[in-house]
Amino acid sequence: LEESTFTNNAAEAAEGAQFGEAAFVLTETTSTVRKIAVGVPTTDEQLADEPMVSGYLADRLEFMLRQRLDSQLLVGNGSAPNLRGVLNVSGIQTTAKGSDPTFDAAYTALNLVQSTGRAEPSIFIFHPNDWAAIRTTRTSDGLYILGNPSESGTPRLWGLPVVTSTACTENTGICMDTSFSILAEREGINIATGFVDDDFSKGRVHVRGTLRAAFAVTRPAAVCSITGI
């Protein structure tokens, strides 16, 4: 259920007085479970001669699946068999950096999520190249605005944790309240082996990995993109 309208009529009330009536408009929406799949061929000899090959292939296929899921959650276009990613959800807010400093544009997005989205932003997401430019911003006398390079810990901007992902569209950032997004994994990562065509007679094996998931944003206004970074 997508929350398109939120009316808060909570108020102080005298004993026996009428309660303020809240109002929600909930629109039933559907997010189809989609499959992400990948495979790689190997041989009987590779699997038999080197014990680590099987584990290596499983680990790398799992990484590939998670990397692709990351991309789908951010920029998937929603056309089958794609998920609809955050940046392509109808109704999300957006703000253009324009001539403003990136810090100001990020705060504008944070404020829009709070004031218009009636949500509490919990995260910023940037492409690593964009975050590198933000993180290395210095004052006129050479001091790093976001702290000394020797400092450790979670990167933060305006008090919120920052996540970087190569799946995020470059020059576009995201500020959002993640409590209004749902990732439902219908099937977790499944690694299997099998034969294709005449593989068995040639001593070849295919290792494949799959996962199935659905994704939905229940309050689009709780997301704001920042363009032109």
DSSP alpha helices (H): ranges in the chain? 44-49, 52-75, 102-115, 128-135, 199-202
147-203: pLDDT as tens digits: 888 888 889 999 999 999 999 999 999 999 999 999 998 888 999 988 888 777 778
CA proximity to 95, closest of 74, 118, 111: 111
Q: Are 108 and 96 in contact (CB under 8 A)?
A: no
Res. 2: pLDDT tops 80: no
Overall pTM > 0.75: yes
pLDDT digits (tens, 9 = 90+) for 93-135: 999 999 999 999 999 999 999 999 999 999 999 999 999 999 9
- Alpha-carbon span 107 to 191, nearest angstrom: 43
Give the pLDDT score at 205: 86
pLDDT averaged over the chain? 91
Phi, psi of 214 (to 5 degrees): -130, 155
Confidence category of residue 4, pLDDT binned at 50, 70, 90: low
Q: For residue range 72-99, list pLDDT tens digits in order.
A: 999 999 999 999 999 999 999 999 999 9
DSSP assignment of 68-120: HHHHHHHH-B-STT--B-GGGSTT-EEEE-TTS-HHHHHHHHHHHHHHTT-S-
The predicted model gives 133-142 an average pLDDT of: 93
pLDDT of 49 reads 76
The pLDDT value recorded for residue 97 is 95
